[in-house]
Amino acid sequence: MSLTGAASAPGDLLTFADDLRVVAEDVNACLTSLLPLPQGPEQRVVEAMRYSALDGGKRLRPFLAVASADLFHVPRAHSLRAGAAVEMVHCYSLIHDDLPAMDDDDLRRGRPTCHKAFDEATAILAGDGLLTGAFAVLSDEETHPDGDTRAKLVAALAEAAGAEGMVGGQMLDLLAEDMDMSESEIERLQVLKTGRLLAVSCQVGGILGQADTATLEDLRTYGLCLGAAFQIADDLLDLEATAGDLGKATGKDDAAGKATFVSLHGPERARKRAKTLVDQAVAALSPFGESAELLRAAAAFTVNRQS
């Protein structure tokens, strides 16, 4: 059964789009209430945080958190908060990635990037505010009544987002413009930059549900395979879609001479690899049986999405 109540076959993309929209609306409401209100002379930074976090985006990471938590019948109020925290980290990473010192982009989610709408210093601070705010959300007892569980949530997100995760991946990504990378080096970069945050989105659902170690590992494997497929799809979209479709600049990897699975092996082999990764993601869900239908649909969506 889908979130919207309609019976759905695994991989039914139209139904999945509805499910994604339902969670996106709920997470938008949650983020709206979690983010501070602009007030006082410092309000500019809060306006920039709200500008970048409240409008647009597929909200895939919160969806994964909610769908994973649903496997353990976690109250939606808890899983939405955990999903919103991961989305705050994602939004911070997009703001900083768009800065002139990094990818130097003018367009994000169909609108001017944060530093274009505000200014560079404010954009840096807005990212910092979202990153630190995410941990405040996870450590609040409204996210989970048990302190050990909250500590596990904080540790998992910190590990995925930090120097051994997304930040390390971004460092490699910056270096990749000036060096040749082997296929395994590219894969590692992409696991760190993209895969770890998607994987932890699934893990937080399991942590909220106090899942055992083996079950958390299954969710992590699912998330990492989905993340690798997601990244290949992202590279294919960068090559084949328009800025109008994506709401951000395209052709950037090619222009920067950045090696990706697509540039190494071409679109056809990349598509096959993404399909294999989706199959691996789905295989990791077998212990959950039919209850993981939403996560199976999310894996299919990852490679069939148009934005």
Binding residues for ligand GRG (CB under 6 A): 57-58, 60, 90, 93-94, 96-97, 109, 166-167, 170, 193-194, 231, 234
Closest by alpha carbon to 198, among 170, 239, 165, 154?
165
162-171: long-range contacts, CB 8 A cutoff, minimum separation 24:
164/192, 165/192, 165/196, 165/197, 165/200, 166/89, 166/93, 166/192, 166/193, 166/194, 166/196, 166/197, 168/192, 169/193, 169/194, 169/196, 170/93, 170/97, 170/102
Sign of the CA dihedral 132, 135, 137, 140?
negative
C-beta of 213 vs 306, nearer to ligand GRG = 306
Nearest to 135 by CA among 233, 34, 214: 34
Q: Which residue is nearest to ligand GRG (CB)?
A: 57
| Contact assessment for residue 6 and residue 15, using Cβ atoms and an 8 Å cutoff | yes
- Least distance in Å: CB of 264 to ligand GRG? 17
3-state helix, strand, coil in the chain (%, to 5): 75, 0, 25
| Nearest distance from C-beta of residue 192 to ligand GRG, angstroms | 9
CB of 94 to ligand GRG, least distance (A): 5
CB 92 within 8 A of CB 127: yes
Q: Nearest approach, Cβ of 224 to ligand GRG (angstroms)?
A: 14
List the beta bridge partners of residue 112.
107
- Give the tokens for residue 209: 């549900």
CB of 61 to ligand GRG, least distance (A): 7
CA distance 156 to 164: 12
**115 within 8 A of 143, measured Cβ to Cβ:** no
Residue 290 CB, shortest distance to ligand GRG, in Å, is 27
CA quadruple 137, 143, 149, 153: dihedral sign:
negative
Which residue's CB is nearer to ligand GRG, number 95 or number 211?
95
Q: How far is the CB of 10 from ligand GRG (least distance, A)?
A: 21
Task: Tell me how far, at minimum, the Cβ of 135 lies from ligand GRG, in Å.
Answer: 15
